[in-house]
């Protein structure tokens, strides 16, 4: 069933739960969309075994073959999503969260009512085509990680305070509390109203923008899977600089024409330099000059209460050695972290890789470190790095 070739293959199936009629089928190979489709007999068998279990009051959620992991998930007794993956190391948790994101994307585009009360299957198939770009981006190789962490991908701008003040002023002038700056699917800055958006829309809205072709302005209808799944809102976007978009979530007002050009020039023309300073961030996430140890090859910082994350495998900035572990532990008011580390290969400098995880309060930090980093210094390095990053998130 699976194909363990280069990168493995992922098949995503969406079916009407009551009839078993496929609404769409998606495939990717090595992170690239593929035309390879499963035979209808296989699709029918996968849905049939799931329905058979339901009839016996048995919930079939996942299964494994020699080379393939399969996960089933039903939503509102109306939509069944099935994913098959032959990618090496794929977990059921990752595939289940993929299905949650896919259904969230479907609600975001067509609304919950259309998915729970299917009157015309062919019409629903056509409406769901508008969600294909977003769904395809989940199956591809993305630099975003919010689908797995269920936290909003963020970057740290060099002049965040200035941008935050401009956002607040522009939001008041535009008459909406939900406003953000988004770059390549990552939130640069946002109003308090935007940060109060629930999951999954807080992750889906920036991700949606990253999946759409560039446009100077948009007026895009969206449903909020958590906050407003049956009543659409308007997502207005204005490109301030290539790759950097101003996003507003609002009701019938304001009209898009009201936001340009005078209002844009008033609030954003004076901030061209701080806006341009955001452009180099991209997958780097942190501003140039932020001090990180030279051994750090990648990091993931999660704030579990705020549901935000920083992720990069391109750390940069002035490198400086971590503080000695005993000094970090003696710092006043420092919380006692929980920590673990993994060393691949012999536990000696210069061989294998180091992965260290640290939790302090609502924050979790994962670091990927070079083979030269000695195992006995991992905890001190991670603690120092977490203390340095905490004011940012």
pLDDT of residue 26: 94
Does residue 280 carry a pLDDT above 90? no
Does residue 22 carry a pLDDT above 80? yes
pLDDT of residue 34: 83
Starting at the earlier edge strand, list the strands of the sheet with 296-303. Answer: 152-153, 308-312, 296-303, 363-369, 353-360, 338-344
Least confident of 108-122, 325-339, 358-372: 325-339
What is 9-141's CATH number, 3.30.450.70, 3.30.365.10, 1.20.140.10, 3.40.309.10? 3.30.450.70
Does residue 43 carry a pLDDT above 60? yes
Choose between 90 and 302: higher pLDDT: 302
Helices and strands of the chain, counted as H and E runs = 13, 17
Strand partners, 6: none
| Angstrom distance (rounded) from CA 50 to CA 365 | 38
Average pLDDT, integer, range 42-67? 86
| Angstrom distance (rounded) from CA 83 to CA 147 | 15
Q: Is residue 81 a contact partner of residue 10, using CB atoms and an 8 Å limit?
A: no
What CATH class does 152-282 carry? alpha beta
Q: Is residue 353 a contact partner of residue 369, using CB atoms and an 8 Å limit?
A: yes
Handedness of CA 85, 89, 94, 96 (dihedral sign): positive
Please provide the DSSP assignment of 277-292 as one string: TTTTTGGG-S-TT--B
- Give exposure, 59-86, as e/b (b: 16+ Cβ within 10 Å): ebeeeeeeebbbbbbbbeeebbbbbbbb
Task: List the one residue out of 115, 154, 121, 107 whose CA is nearest residue 21.
Answer: 121
Domain residue ranges in the chain: 9-141, 152-282, 285-392
Q: What is the pLDDT of residues 183-207, one digit of tens each?
A: 999 999 999 999 999 999 999 999 9
Does residue 308 carry a pLDDT above 50? yes
pLDDT of residue 261: 74
Hey, what are 127's tokens? 């409406």
Three-point CA angle 129, 130, 134, nearest 5°: 105
pLDDT of residue 374: 83
Does residue 2 carry a pLDDT above 50? no
pLDDT of residue 265: 83
* Whole-number percent of the chain with pLDDT over 90: 60
H-helix segments, the chain: 40-55, 92-110, 112-116, 121-128, 132-139, 146-149, 160-174, 192-195, 201-211, 262-268, 272-276, 325-329, 378-389
Hey, what are 349's tokens? 């400098």
Hey, what are 40's tokens? 């209808």
| Angstrom distance (rounded) from CA 133 to CA 127 | 13
Q: Is residue 283 a contact partner of residue 343, using CB atoms and an 8 Å limit?
A: no
| Angstrom distance (rounded) from CA 12 to CA 24 | 8
pLDDT of residue 5: 42
- CA separation, residue 25 to residues 68, 83, 120, 194 (Å): 17, 10, 18, 33
pLDDT of residue 88: 84
């Amino acid at each position: 069933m699976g194909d363990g070739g280069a990168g493995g293959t992922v098949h995503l199936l969406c079916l009407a739960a009551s009839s078993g009629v496929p609404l769409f089928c998606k495939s990717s190979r090595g992170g690239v969309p593929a035309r390879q489709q499963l035979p209808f007999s296989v699709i029918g068998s996968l849905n049939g075994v799931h329905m058979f279990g339901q009839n016996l009051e048995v919930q079939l959620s996942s299964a494994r073959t020699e080379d393939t992991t399969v996960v089933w998930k039903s939503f509102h007794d109306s939509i069944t999503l099935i994913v098959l993956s032959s990618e090496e190391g794929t977990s059921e948790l990752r595939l289940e969260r993929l299905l949650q994101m896919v259904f969230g994307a479907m609600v975001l585009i067509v609304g919950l009512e259309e998915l729970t009360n299917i009157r015309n299957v062919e019409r629903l198939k056509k409406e769901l085509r508008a969600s294909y770009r977003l769904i395809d981006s989940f199956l591809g190789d993305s630099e975003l990680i919010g689908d797995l962490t269920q936290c909003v991908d963020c970057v740290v701008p060099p002049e965040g305070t200035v941008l935050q003040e401009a956002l607040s002023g522009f939001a008041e002038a535009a008459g909406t509390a939900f406003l953000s700056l988004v770059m390549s699917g990552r939130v640069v800055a946002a109003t308090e109203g935007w940060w109060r958006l629930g999951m999954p829309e807080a992750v889906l809205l920036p991700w949606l923008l990253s999946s759409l072709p560039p446009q100077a302005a948009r007026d895009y209808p969206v449903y909020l899977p958590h906050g407003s799944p049956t009543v659409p809102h308007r997502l207005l976007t204005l490109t301030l600089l290539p790759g950097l978009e101003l996003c507003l979530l609002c009701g019938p007002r304001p009209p898009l024409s009201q936001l340009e050009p005078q209002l844009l020039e008033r609030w954003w023309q004076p901030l061209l330099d701080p806006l341009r300073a955001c452009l180099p961030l991209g997958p780097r996430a942190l501003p140039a000059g932020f001090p990180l140890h030279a051994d750090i090859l990648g990091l993931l910082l999660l704030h579990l209460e705020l549901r935000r994350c920083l992720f990069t495998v391109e750390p940069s900035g002035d490198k400086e050695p971590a503080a000695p572990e005993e000094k970090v532990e003696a710092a006043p008011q420092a919380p006692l972290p929980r920590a673990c580390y993994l060393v691949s290969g012999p536990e000696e400098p210069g061989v294998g890789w180091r992965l260290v995880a640290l939790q302090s309060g609502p924050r979790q930090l994962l670091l990927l470190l070079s083979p030269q980093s000695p195992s006995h210094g991992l905890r001190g390095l991670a603690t120092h790095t977490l203390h340095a990053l905490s004011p940012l998130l």
